[in-house]
Chain A
Amino acid sequence: MNGKELLKIEDLEIRYETDDGIVYALNGVSLHVNEGETLGLVGETGAGKTTLAKGILRLIQTPPGKIVNGKVYFEGKNVLAMSDHDLHQVRGNAISMVFQDPMTSLNPVMTVGEQIEEVIAVHNNSLSKEEIRERAIAMLKRVGISADRIDEYPHQFSGGMKQRVIIAIALACNPKLLLADEPTTALDVTIQAQVLDMINKLKTEMNTAMILISHDLGVVAQTCDRVAIIYAGRIVETGNLRDIYKNPKHPYTVGLLDSIPSLTRDTKRLKPIKGLMPDPTNLPSGCPFAPRCNYASSACSEAVPELTDRGNGHLVRCIKDISGKEGQ
């Protein structure tokens, strides 16, 4: 499973310049994804997950968004410094993205077939119209939709079916990396597992690496090789799935684990994290989690802690040395 490094993000900083001030959405994120593996990216709403995923593909709208700093190496080439032409070759072909809301992510005036065919056509100039259509039909079948629905429009599909179509579009060109931004959050609980299983099955078959974004550590637990926890635009903890679950080192991770019913070691003591994430237009100078943290001391508010290595690629951004067990 652990192939060579496919994606490496270095120190990515993204801001939104709005009338209400500068939103510091991403403040120096570094990450890597290996070939074929799944990285779970977990954090609360507003932590910067979507910004990170869009930033990888340079999909941040400018204005108001702005990539201020950082590098995104994909197979050794910096996506952020590519020509538009090269970027268009990468998008939808080597890296594709599934967006959060299937209801609004498909073009309402094009048939689902046209929308799948479009991405195949733009990346495969040599294919004939018939071949493109055949591939689109095959892709539709792979996501569990019957071929005779290919000429229907998005409004004729349910939310779950729409998300399947979007996944078909994303995987149509056999990408090396899939960015799945909360792919099941907007769906009915009953079909979330179905869609997630399907994504997993397909990405394994195609040997596609994936960044699976979620605000739910429970979702990530079932599918990921490694996990990165993001808080206020910074990675606060990252490591192997096992290390994160069995030996969480950051108080925020501990808090997240405690707030999942199925994973709580002691279900009677299920507790949500108190307080709110700091306002991203006005971040504190110290650790942004300190105001909510049970372990915080005065040293915590002096400077943002560095990510430190606790062994085996387990990185933690905390000056304390706590363990999940103590957190109980």
Chain B
Amino acid sequence: MWKYILKRLLMMIPVLLGVTFLVFFILNMTPGDPAAIILGDQATPEAIAQLREELGLNDPLLIRYVRYIIDMLHGDFGESYKNGISVAAQVLDKFPNTAVLAVAGILVALVIGIPVGIISARKQYSALDNTSMVLSLLGVSMPNFWLGLLLSLLFALKLGWFPSQGMGSGFVPLLRSLVLPAITLGTGSAATVVRMTRSSMLEVIRQDYISTARAKGLDEKVITKRHMFRNALIPIVTAVGLQFGTLLGGAMLTETVFSWPGLGRLMVDSLNSKDIPMVLGSVLFMTIMFSFVNLAVDIVYAFIDPRIKSLYSKAGFKKRRVVVA
């Protein structure tokens, strides 16, 4: 097991290199001169040229990339072009805010998604199942920011129940400010979790060992919990993990709609101002978060399914899942 974890951690290195490489080149290919953006409209061409020289922007792209990687390996992610503050400090400063929102969002998704998915599967084609399928289709296809705007209009601006902007400080204000963005984020994920739970449960319901469980004289509640749900869990954990990994990287649109001071907004701001070190640092961080969640999901598998556990501990075991970055 430990060997497996170590192997997975090592596998993250090429993924991270690949991601930085891609982002680095794409950002440098887009129009706009960072030096001009930093100095603003009034800057003289001489000043811009001088700043370009200082920032090393005149060197060939590949050299700059190698330089960036070398600095990165020393733990230096550079400074923001915009305000000169260290990228690492800013990312770490915003991350807790995003994490709080991500946890709240995924809780909303779980609390709605799992029970509705289970009931839908157990009562397949019932009115309840049909309703939840239509709603979840709606939830999957509805853009997050649009739902966010609607919620904000109704519950913040019109009814005034919750704040529409920012993150409250202190426990109760924090909770109040979390409600709308968490629901906004959570409904999309909930819809995915409902669909995944339902389809995974439906697969399990038809298995022979469920007949065995019934033939033992167990009641349906026990069968659902002990026999069906645990066997249906792997695809559900995968879906939840993917959702959570994405949320941890910062929900750009939702954070922007609710002015949530998280990674997502930091990223949007940095993109707008072509703050390359900032964008690179944030993307790198998101990738790391996503990979960690993925790894956690794979470890959780082993606790759910003994067959996977024995697979992990077997020598010569091959990579089973592609890390999506």
Which A residues contact B (CB, under 8 angstroms)?
Answer: 54, 57, 59, 61, 84, 87-93, 96-97, 99, 101, 104-110, 118-119, 122-123, 153, 155-156, 166, 169-170
Contact = CB atoms under 8 A, between A and B. Distances in A.
Interface string B212-246: 11111111001000110011000000000000000
B211 A59 contact: yes
Contacts of B218: 88, 92, 118, 122
Interface of B: 206-209, 211-219, 222, 226-227, 230-231, 304-307, 310
Contacts of B215: 57, 59, 91-92, 96-97, 99, 170
Contact of B209 (A59, A106, A170): A106
12 contacts: A54-B211, A90-B217, A96-B216, A99-B215, A105-B208, A105-B211, A109-B305, A110-B227, A118-B218, A122-B216, A155-B306, A155-B307
A59 B207 CA distance: 13
Given A106-B209, A109-B230, A91 B305 contact: no
Nearest to A85: B219
A105 B212 contact: yes
B216 A91 contact: yes
B313 to A, nearest CB: 13
B208 A101 contact: yes
Contact of B231 (A90, A107, A118, A169): A107
Contacts of A166: 212
B306 A119 contact: no
A103 to B, nearest CB: 9
Given A109-B230, A109-B305, A153-B306, A104 B209 contact: yes
A123 B217 contact: yes
Contact of A108 (B206, B219, B222, B306): B306
Contacts of A106: 209, 212
Contacts of A122: 216-218, 222
Nearest to B305: A109
B306 A107 contact: no
Contacts of B214: 57, 59, 91
Contacts of A101: 208
A42 B135 CA distance: 50
Nearest to B215: A97
A99 B211 contact: yes
B217 A91 contact: yes
List the 5 closest pairs (A to B, CB-CB), nearest first: A91-B217, A92-B216, A92-B217, A104-B208, A153-B306
A153 B307 contact: yes
A123 B207 CA distance: 24
A70 B244 CA distance: 53
Contacts of B213: 107
A252 B219 CA distance: 41
B212 A99 contact: yes
A195 to B, nearest CB: 17
A56 to B, nearest CB: 10
Contacts of A110: 226-227, 230
A319 B119 CA distance: 52
A55 B211 CA distance: 12
Contact of A88 (B206, B209, B219): B219
Given A96-B215, A97-B215, A106-B209, 8 more contacts: A87-B217, A88-B217, A91-B217, A92-B215, A99-B211, A109-B306, A122-B218, A153-B306
Given A88-B219, A107-B231, A99 B305 contact: no
A169 B217 contact: no
B217 A108 contact: no
A108 B231 contact: yes
